[in-house]
Amino acid sequence: MATGRTHRPATRSRGIPEATVARLPLYLRALTALSERSVPTVSSEELAAAAGVNSAKLRKDFSYLGSYGTRGVGYDVEYLVYQISRELGLTQDWPVVIVGIGNLGAALANYGGFASRGFRVAALIDADPAMAGKPVAGIPVQHTDELETIIRDNGVSIGVIATPAGAAQQVCDRLVAAGVTSILNFAPTVLTVPDGVDVRKVDLSIELQILAFHEQRKAGEEAAAGVAADRAAGPARSAAVAGREDSATDQGPDGDVPAVMPA
């Protein structure tokens, strides 16, 4: 799950659960592919397989949108594409600004997925004066000074932050002050925003670290050889450790033997 949302009732969004909303783009992608192959209808089973989810879950998800299927037949592909697009608000074009045109910002600007479906890169913004005017992905980079003007003139409500971590909060504040109410943050920082502003975070190193955790666990399971009490020493604990070994509550008697790779 993508994370980083400024708390709010969180789930209830016109009745559609957050988890369902997060899957709608997945369904939409699968449906678009079917549409391009001129497939007229699809069953929940087929579509679920294409989207990589459980078919019951898919049916329940669609039930929040309404009864768009036909029993005994399945779902009409074109109709469903339209309904989901409308639900996600992709029948209109959202102008988006990307702030921070480094390697990542440039990659984002060139990313076809933006322009293709519902989004339009309204402007690229960077703090480096040397970048100003230089075209990236066919769009000239503009200086940060013009941020407010760009936001207001284009009616931008979605901003993408691809700056270094140090600049992210400041950029965020300016975006919000200028009227942006949804932010996609690539900078490795926790952004603080006022109520009513949505933030979604994409963090590469966090994803990698989660993978590393599972990878380590896998390695530890295999190497279930003689690993018992070689718990790493690490830096000396400055404060007291207190009753660790005997404070086993209900977590299981194994405590926290890491079973880490001996390597």
Partner DNA sequence: ATGTCTTTGTGAACGCGTGCACAAAGATTG
Partner DNA sequence: CAATCTTTGTGCACGCGTTCACAAAGACAT
Which residues are annotated binding-site positions?
100-105
Q: Scanning residues 185 to 214, which ones bind a copy of itself (CB under 8 A)?
A: 188, 190, 192, 196, 198, 200, 202-214
* C-alpha separations of 102 from 126, 127, 230, 245 in Å: 8, 10, 45, 49
CB of 216 to DNA, least distance (A): 18
Nearer to DNA, 78 or 148 (CB): 78
Cβ partners under 8 Å of residue 103, min gap 6: none
Task: Find the binder of a copy of itself among 11, 70, 149, 170 (CB under 8 A).
Answer: 70
Nearer to DNA, 228 or 241 (CB): 241
Q: Which segments are annotated as binding site for NAD(+)?
A: 100-105
Stretch that binds a copy of itself, among 89-97, 127-135, 141-149, 168-176 (CB under 8 A): 89-97
Nearer to a copy of itself, 90 or 151 (CB): 90
CB of 8 to a copy of itself, least distance (A): 9
Site string for a copy of itself, 104-143 (x = CB under 8 A): x-xxx-xx-xx-xxxx------------------------
Backbone angles phi, psi at 200, to 5 degrees: -120, 145
CB of 89 to DNA, least distance (A): 19
Distance CA 199, CA 4 (A): 6
Query: Which two structure tokens, joined as six digits, stand for 30?
Result: 């699968």
Number of residues in the chain: 263
Cβ partners under 8 Å of residue 95, min gap 6: 120, 122, 154, 155, 156, 157, 158
Residue numbers at the binding site for DNA (CB under 7 A): 7, 11-12, 17-20, 43-45, 53-57, 59-60, 62-63, 67-75, 239-240, 242-243, 247, 249-251
* Residue 13: contacted member of DNA, a copy of itself, none (CB under 5 to 8 Å, by partner type): a copy of itself
Which value, to the nearest 10 degrees, does the dihedral of the CA atoms of residues 83, 85, 86, 89 take?
A: 160
Residue 220: burial class (beta carbons within 10 Å; 0-12, 13-18, 19+):
middle
CB of 55 to a copy of itself, least distance (A): 13
* C-alpha separations of 79 from 24, 41, 52, 91, 178 in Å: 14, 9, 21, 13, 37
